[in-house]
Amino acid sequence: MSAHAKSLILKAQEDLDLAKRLLSDDKQHDIVGYNLAQACEKYLKALCDMRSLSYPNDDHDLDALMEVLEESNFPAISSHADIIELTAYNATNAHIRPDERLDMEEYLGYVENLKKLVGEQLKFM
């Protein structure tokens, strides 16, 4: 595994840990969403890096990153499509209206599942 992929995975874990710490504070909803989206972005980029796939470094669109992996014949990523909904949170100034908020506990589970996929891929390296 490259140093870059390892760094992305470690940073993703930091984002995930922060989201978990703030999860129960409703006032932090957007920050939790942002950190979950950031964790997803870093896990997806790590998967791309592990598979030697190019991706735009400044692309925060989770769907676009998923497409890179899908187009490279990595069908396992398709079962994690729910994380795409976090793209709306993937900006430091994101503000999601209360009636459009995602259930962060549910999405935490989706991110944890993506983390497991990354771990499984590490075993094959």
Domain residues for the domain of 109 are: 3-123
Q: Residue 67 belongs to what H/E stretch? A: helix 62-71
pTM of the model: 0.94
Structure tokens at 17: 């840990």
Q: How many domains does the chain have?
A: 1
Mean pLDDT, consecutive 10-residue segments, the chain of 125 residues? Answer: 92 98 96 97 96 84 93 92 95 89 97 96 80
Q: Are 63 and 87 in contact (CB under 8 A)?
A: yes
Q: Residue 8 belongs to what H/E stretch? A: helix 3-22
Our CA dihedral for 51, 54, 58, 63, rounded to 10 degrees, sits at: -70
CATH code of residue 55: 1.20.120.330
Q: Tell me the pLDDT tens digit for each residue of 87-99.
A: 999 988 888 999 9
